[in-house]
């Protein structure tokens, strides 16, 4: 084969291979693990409050970016389960946390204006957390599936700090982070979310009487702090690790660190985490 024919053959083969690669589903080539589309929306519509320990969302403004949100949700829905299973643990966790938060925002926008996520549907019928309104990993899905059947499934991740990352669109809930969760920084992000939540005196504090008053999350999901995460076997042991965040008083910090502060659980504020427009 002369050089001219050989070059022509190379061109044809390259074009054929390029065509095959182009024809492959986008999900097989390039799911964006940086979650840049979601990050752009968060940076635009999430407002930090209380020195960065809490946040609110500009839902009315977010509604004007509904098409961009839909594009991101469609990208999440396009990921097949085999691809998901092939990712790293951190990539899977970041995907699920971001999916929970993004689909929660979509649920709010689909019903906006609303005063509380609990006003959507009811506890017995059309439950907002069990409502199948999106597809994920090849199945008709709902928010509880992501949180309780995947992220909290025993043996799957065993990471109680996920409670400080998923956001239920409520004032009482740990804040919606102002950036997307990504695998490369997931550990640091989860730790910062933990510190932010525990430092928020409206949701976790030591009373003048030495009682440790904490979010109902620690009551509802008590078992998540007994599984041995980082050697921790109880809520009290968990709080001891973060004693300096829960009070500015040295004596109160010592009480928490020695696991001697009796626990009490604060009422949960289900009001929508809506920012003033």
CA distance 253 to 210: 10
For residues 7 and 112, the model is more confident at 112
Across the range 209-231, mean pLDDT stands at: 92
pTM: 0.89
* Residue 155 Cα distances to 2, 215, 227, angstroms: 62, 25, 10
Residues 6+ apart with CB under 8 A from 111: 119, 120
CA distance 256 to 240: 5
Whose CA is closest to 168, among 129, 220, 216?
129
Residue 41, phi-psi category: left (phi > 0), alpha (psi -120 to 50), beta (remainder): alpha
End-to-end CA distance of the chain: 72
* pLDDT interval class at 13 (50, 70, 90): very low
Whose CA is closest to 102, among 68, 138, 132, 53?
68
Domain map of the chain by residue range? 27-186, 201-270
CA distance 277 to 271: 16
* pLDDT interval class at 28 (50, 70, 90): very low
CA distance 30 to 110: 29
CA distance 11 to 100: 46
Q: How confident is the model at residue 183, as a pLDDT?
A: 98
Q: How confident is the model at residue 2, as a pLDDT?
A: 56
CA distance 240 to 234: 10
Which has the minimum average pLDDT: 17-31, 43-57, 221-235? 17-31
Q: How confident is the model at residue 5, as a pLDDT?
A: 52
Q: What sign has the CA pseudo-torsion 238, 242, 246, 251?
A: positive
* pLDDT interval class at 15 (50, 70, 90): very low
pLDDT in tens, 29-86: 589 999 999 999 999 999 999 999 999 999 999 999 999 999 999 999 999 999 999 9
């Amino acid at each position: 084969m002369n050089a001219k024919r050989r070059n022509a053959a190379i061109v044809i083969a390259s074009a054929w291979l390029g065509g095959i690669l182009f024809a492959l589903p986008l999900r097989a080539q390039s799911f964006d693990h940086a979650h840049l589309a979601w990050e752009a929306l968060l940076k635009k519509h999430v407002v930090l409050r209380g020195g960065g320990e809490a946040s609110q969302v500009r839902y009315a403004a977010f509604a004007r970016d509904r098409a961009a949100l839909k594009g991101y949700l469609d990208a999440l829905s396009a990921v097949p389960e085999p691809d998901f299973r092939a990712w790293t643990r951190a990539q899977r966790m970041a995907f699920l946390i971001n999916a929970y938060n993004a689909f929660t925002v979509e649920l709010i926008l689909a019903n906006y204006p609303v005063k509380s996520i609990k006003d959507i549907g009811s506890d017995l019928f059309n439950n907002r957390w069990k409502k199948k309104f999106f597809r994920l990993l090849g199945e008709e899905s709902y928010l509880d599936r992501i949180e309780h059947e995947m992220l909290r499934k025993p043996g799957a991740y065993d990471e109680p700090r996920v409670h400080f990352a998923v956001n239920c669109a409520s004032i009482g809930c740990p804040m919606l982070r102002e950036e997307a969760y990504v695998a490369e920084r997931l550990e640091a992000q989860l730790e910062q979310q933990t510190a932010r939540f525990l430092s928020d005196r409206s949701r976790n504090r030591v009373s003048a009487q030495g009682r440790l008053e904490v979010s109902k999350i620690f009551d509802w999901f008590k078992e998540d702090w007994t599984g041995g995460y980082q050697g921790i076997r109880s809520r009290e042991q968990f709080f001891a690790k973060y004693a300096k965040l829960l009070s500015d008083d040295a004596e109160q910090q010592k009480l928490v660190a020695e696991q001697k502060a009796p626990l009490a659980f604060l009422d949960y504020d289900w009001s929508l985490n809506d920012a003033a427009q």
